[in-house]
Structure 1
Amino acid sequence: MKYHMDDSYIDDTPSAFLYQRIMNCYPKSAIGCFIINDDWDEHALLELKQESEAWFLVGLQIDDSEFERLDIIEGVVRCQPDEVKDVTELLDVNAASTIIGIDVVDIKSLFECGNLFQFIQASATGESESDLIKITTHKLVDQLLTARNTKALFIGMESVQSLPMEAFAYVADAVEGLLSNIGEYIYYRSSMTDEPKSFHLKAIYALA
């Protein structure tokens, strides 16, 4: 498990950014995200990496189409078309706004645990923060039942206010109790949301 005080970011450069082929120029970021079926080829990806100065590239797979596995891509994340923004925001660890966070080095370590990953998420709304955390955690754990043998997991927590450590501990205990064999490869981040009376959990895990 990895988390630390999130106080190391001093500029507005995103750690993850979603790039499109139609862009006239590629802004800088550390992690270059792109949708695989947007006609990217090796030449275009090399150009993207060079111009954006991205440390590594992550492809987002939004359908079941085949794609060429290129060495230039660090990993591929499966998600739904309406989840592309959620995946990119989860990987943008520079935007983490509370004391629990990770950095781009940790994200690189995450993707070194596999080539193919799955994105999942769960949420709940209501008045009681403790109930929201319990309900959302159980929803996420239910989705992770098929991923007991995963090699790595990254979880993002989103709440309207800074989470108490007790809340973080509840989520961590539930997840690590299910996936107790990969404790050193579970990463967490915590951030704020402007959606009132809500709690969200978003996760990426390595597929076996």
Structure 2
Amino acid sequence: MNDEWSEQALFELKQKVKADILVGLQTDDHNYESLDIVEAVIKCQPNEINDVVELLDVASASTIIGIDMADVIDLLECGNSFQFVHSSATGEAELDMVKTATYQLIGQLEKACDTKGVLIGMESEQSLPIEAFAYIGDAVEGLLSNTGESIYYRSSMTDEPNSFQLKAIYVEDC
């Protein structure tokens, strides 16, 4: 996002690409004028843009546990301002990597103020065992003590050996 986008230009873009929703990616701390045509703004660093796009990609061919457009729309209806965070771990023991990355991610999510929605993306070299999904789910759900928050999960595979990544987008409700 930058000051060069106008409501009309975004409307024309949305019409041209036949998009159902428009999401802005904000890579700086500037306060931009609110644009009604943009359903949500996700704050991230410039080097994280591809990670955000991959996390929201509902048509990803490498997805094991997928997310669909209805899930993305439901998440975006939880708020207008979102934050992207991520964690990773490398090593030989898969469950150790999962625990390390989960611990790091929870540390970042603890800074969120009373979030109403979160999308968690898991990325590993191979399909994760059910114990890994349970560990991550228990940690995230234990952190979010609100009633009625929306939590979405997505899992995909990567060709990066001996690594595990967690990526999250959460509603910034402060």
Do both proteins adopt the same fold according to a TM-score greater than 0.5, normalized to the shorter chain?
yes
User: Which of 21, 26, 32 lines up with 1:56 in the alignment?
Assistant: 21
User: Which of 87, 94, 114 lines up with 1:122 in the alignment?
Assistant: 87
- For residue 77 of structure 1, what is the aligned residue in structure 2? 42
Give the deviation of 1:37 after TM superposition. Answer: 1.6
User: Which of 189, 192, 195 lines up with 2:154 in the alignment?
Assistant: 189
For 1:73 and 1:167, how far apart are their aligned partners in 2?
35
174-183 vs 139-148, greater mean Cα deviation? 174-183
Q: Which has the higher contact order (CA 8 A, sep 6+)?
A: 2
Give the deviation of 1:93 after TM superposition. Answer: 2.2
The 3 A distance-change label for structure 1 pair 97 and 182 is: farther
196-205 vs 145-154, greater mean Cα deviation? 145-154
- For residue 161 of structure 1, what is the aligned residue in structure 2? 126
User: Which of 144, 150, 162 lines up with 2:115 in the alignment?
Assistant: 150
For 1:118 and 1:162, how far apart are their aligned partners in 2?
27
Counterpart AA for 2:171:
A
154-163 vs 40-49, greater mean Cα deviation? 40-49
1:174 aligns with 2:139: yes
For 1:96 and 1:190, how far apart are their aligned partners in 2?
11
1:90 aligns with 2:55: yes
State the Cα deviation string for residues 81-105 of structure 1 (Å, max 9, x = none).
Answer: 1111111110002216344222011
Report % sequence identity: 64
For 1:186 and 1:138, how far apart are their aligned partners in 2?
18
Assess if the C-alpha contact under 8 Å between 1:58 and 1:76 holds in 2. yes
- For residue 71 of structure 2, what is the aligned residue in structure 1? 106
- For residue 105 of structure 2, what is the aligned residue in structure 1? 140
Structure 1: stretches of 5+ with no match in the other structure: 1-35
Give the CA RMSD over aligned residues: 1.4
State the Cα deviation string for residues 21-67 of structure 1 (Å, max 9, x = none).
Answer: xxxxxxxxxxxxxxx02722112111110111110000001001121
Counterpart AA for 1:159:
S
Assess if the C-alpha contact under 8 Å between 2:64 and 2:157 holds in 1. no
State the Cα deviation string for residues 122-179 of structure 1 (Å, max 9, x = none).
Answer: 0011111011000000000011111251010100000001112211111000111111
For 2:103 and 2:113, how far apart are their aligned partners in 1?
15
Assess if the C-alpha contact under 8 Å between 2:120 and 2:153 holds in 1. yes
Structure 2: stretches of 5+ with no match in the other structure: none
Give the deviation of 1:182 after TM superposition. Answer: 4.7
State the Cα deviation string for residues 169-194 of structure 1 (Å, max 9, x = none).
Answer: 11000111111325650000000111
Assess if the C-alpha contact under 8 Å between 1:102 and 1:188 holds in 2. yes
Assess if the C-alpha contact under 8 Å between 1:133 and 1:167 holds in 2. yes
For 1:68 and 1:38, how far apart are their aligned partners in 2?
8
User: Which of 12, 17, 40 lines up with 2:5 in the alignment?
Assistant: 40
The 3 A distance-change label for structure 1 pair 88 and 130 is: same
For 1:194 and 1:183, how far apart are their aligned partners in 2?
36
- For residue 67 of structure 1, what is the aligned residue in structure 2? 32
